[in-house]
Every structure is written in C-alpha cells, then in structure tokens.
Amino acid sequence: MTAGHIMACHDCDLLHRLPAVADGMRATCCRCGAALARPKRNGLERALALAVTGLVLLALANSFPFLGFKIQGQARETLLLTGIRQLYTQEMQGVAVLVFITTVLAPLAQLLVLVYILLPLKLNRRAPGMFQVFRWLRTIEPWSMMEVFMLGILVSVVKLAKMAQIIPGIAAFCFMALIFVLAACMASLDPHVVWERWEEPQ
C-alpha cells in the first residue's frame, strides 16, 4: 500500500497512516501487532509468471496420461478427463461434475482471470470489467480443490498397490506441480497492489 494511506488494522480496527515500507519489511499495528502491510518484491510480475506457468501445467495435465495400471501383464493408461468420464458413465454423475469443476474448471477459470487482470496491469492498462472480474476471482478460489483430488488419488494408489503396478504419468507430476504453482501465485498476489494500479491514472 502507498505510504500516507489511512488503513484500519484487520484485527483490531485501529486506524493508521501507513509509513513507507521497504521490500521485505513489514508494517505492524501499534496496538495488537498484526501485520498491516508486507510489500513483496515484484509481486505482480511473479504472480503473472506463475499464472502463465500454471496454464501450461494445466494443459499438460489434461493432455498426457495421468496414471498407468499394469494388471497380470495387461497395461492401461488413463487421462484425467477419462477418469471423470468413467465416473459419469458409472452412475456417479454428481461426483463426476464436482470433480470436473474442482480439478479442471475452477483452476482454469482462476488462472485465466489472473492472466486477464495481471497482463494488462503489467503493460499499464486496465482490462475491461477488471473490478468485477477480480471480485469473481475470490468467488472461484474456494472451488479450486486440486489438492483434495490429489489426496484421494494417493489413498487409492496405496490401496491398489497390492493388486496392480501403478505408474504415475507425466500429467500426474504436472498436476502436482500445478498445486504448488497456483498456491505460490495466489500468495504472491497482493490485492492492494492490484487496487492501487487500478486507481492510478492511465
């Protein structure tokens, strides 16, 4: 946040006039000690780079084999989307839709929104409807649950390990990397920086 701005402490509501805070340092509330501002160096650029990386990883995770099974000499490979389709055909439409939304649709929407907002900001422009889209990002965020899906996969792999040989595919590694990339991207993104850039005259 810009120095001189008045802001309320998120924890105790005490009003502060923000001092200039150097990168890597933080301003804390003088009453309760909560962090008021913690500027991140190149936060916007880092978030943009991570969002683009995330899109590439998501594309790879959906195009390459996710898991391979070898049972009694027979080998079989599945894609992430094939698994979801299998759920759908096995009378588990609700679960299939939920898995599709939380592992493919929500992360894709999240990454596209991030690039849509951050790329023009980097070029000192504003994307049309940026304000609404940025709010929308907060709504999609809780629906992105790739780590829950990955945990489910790990549990079933451990259970199936005795019956079949399981080979994780390229997509599984990309998917795992995507979980960390998306988390790092959201952590690098400081909403205050986005609002400030938005308020600046073009």
| β partners of residue 78 | 67
The 3-state DSSP class for residue 196 equals helix
Query: What is the phi-psi region of residue 129: left when phi exceeds 0, alpha when psi lies from -120 to 50, beta otherwise?
Result: left
Q: Which of 3, 5, 8, 11 binds Zn ion (CB under 5 A)?
A: 11
State the nearest-atom distance from the C-beta of 30 to Zn ion, in Å. Answer: 8
Q: Which of 2, 5, 8, 12 binds Zn ion (CB under 5 A)?
A: 12
**What percent of the residues of the chain are helix, what percent strand, and what percent coil, each to the nearest 5?**
60, 10, 30
Q: Smaller CB distance to Zn ion: residue 32 or 71?
A: 32
Q: Which of residues 23-52 bind Zn ion (CB under 5 A)?
A: 29, 31-32, 34
State the nearest-atom distance from the C-beta of 26 to Zn ion, in Å. Answer: 13
State how far Cα 59 lies from the chain centre.
Answer: 14
Query: What is the phi-psi region of residue 140: left when phi exceeds 0, alpha when psi lies from -120 to 50, beta otherwise?
Result: alpha
- Residue 185 interacts with Zn ion (CB under 5 A)? no
Q: Smaller CB distance to Zn ion: residue 32 or 155?
A: 32
Distances (CA, A) of 57 to 53, 62, 93: 6, 9, 26
State the nearest-atom distance from the C-beta of 18 to Zn ion, in Å. Answer: 13
- Residue 9 interacts with Zn ion (CB under 5 A)? yes
Q: Smaller CB distance to Zn ion: residue 34 or 148?
A: 34
Q: Smaller CB distance to Zn ion: residue 29 or 111?
A: 29
State the nearest-atom distance from the C-beta of 29 to Zn ion, in Å. Answer: 3
- Cβ-based neighbours of 128, under 8 Å, separated by 6 or more: none
- Residues forming the site for Zn ion (CB under 5 A): 9, 11-12, 14, 29, 31-32, 34
